[in-house]
A = this chain, B = another copy of it.
């Protein structure tokens, strides 16, 4: 029995739709996963994510939860699902990216990395083994292997050294991961997958978003799931295509339940990013989900779906939303702009979310300028609605064999405001 199951349901060029079953929910891909860094998606209640936005999977950040409240507290309270009350799927990253981007005074060794907490400066240590232990305590559905993330502009030699370390860490991650699974350390273990949160476990039909369909086993094959965590490997290699291919080969040789492209959107030019995706995604195992980590703008998502990617996460919709940045089908806008002072139209006239159905740009601008946190919560809500709806529309276009046209029209419309994707 497998921890997750992923089946292609349609394809159009390199783009494909699929159904990802985890022990806690059914996820249609391509999917955008809202980021819940510290056991909460910033500014949005879980109720909204479940009821209106219908997010099936969100992220948790191992680095942040490792530091606060700490794995002992979360394990003691029954894991991240029980602690936070989010009962759909969780993907946890390995902590590697944050260690290399948020902390200083790092000491990297073959074994792992010592660093200072960005919260209180205390000395902390992460390694493949510790990351697996923390992620077992969190009890997420999808665990990420612990990797090193070199700078985006790292040279060939530095990148090769790094990916070789990442490959060794990937093997250690898998070994320890299996040990913890066999040893019952996974707090999120589900003895009867499919019996958990039945409503959440059933996908809504794309055409009828409010209707839950038949049970999983009937609708999407009868393969039982093991109830365990899944482990994804990460492909590094920066902008060097030969190293990307090498990293992919090493990662596939170890063998994972899914594969991620790491180390993109870290400062490189867009053509470099798209070039790496275009080169590597089609070489990744066709029967496993492909996850592009930490990317990106709505434009990036569509361009990556076009090149064969299935899963995404990014802080942009939540982070930008907090400061007044709205993503719309006509491009980005900053609500603080004076031209919105008496603008009675919604953030996005093509959006049907509860924020766009009710609130005007003039009102949202006022809230932002007045320092009302409701400006942040409302714009964040819309941004997530736009991201999730964009994925929904992409899936429909792929199923209709119409994705190439959808892509061009979507990107053209985004550019109408002149600052799309910037």
Contacts and interface: CB of A to CB of B under 8 A. Distances in A.
A69 B373 contact: no
Interface in A331-383: 341-342, 344, 354, 358-360, 362-363, 366-367, 369-370, 372-374, 376-378
Given A45-B378, A76-B342, A342-B73, A68 B373 contact: no
A121 to B, nearest CB: 16
A367 B73 contact: no
B376 A373 contact: yes
B342 A374 contact: no
Nearest to A78: B344
Interface stretch (A35-43, A153-161, A253-261, A302-310): A35-43
A85 interface: yes
A84 interface: yes
A47 interface: yes
Nearest to A341: B73
A314 interface: no
A369 B68 contact: yes
Nearest to A44: B374
A77 interface: yes
The complex is assembled from copies of this chain, and their number is: 2
B367 A40 contact: yes
A341 B69 contact: yes
Contacts of A76: 342
Nearest to A39: B366
A367 B64 CA distance: 12
A355 to B, nearest CB: 9
B363 A68 contact: no
A420 to B, nearest CB: 28
A83 interface: yes
Interface string A50-72: 00000000000000100011000
B38 A68 contact: no
A367 B41 CA distance: 11
Contacts of A354: 47
Nearest to A48: B45
A47 to B, nearest CB: 7
Nearest to A381: B45
A409 B361 CA distance: 48
A366 B374 CA distance: 21
Contacts of A367: 38-40
Contacts of A370: 38-40, 64, 68
Contact of A85 (B39, B69, B359, B366): B359
**Nearest 6 CB-CB pairings of A with B:** A38-B370, A40-B374, A69-B366, A40-B372, A85-B358, A373-B373
8 contacts: A38-B370, A40-B370, A45-B377, A47-B354, A68-B370, A69-B366, A77-B360, A84-B363
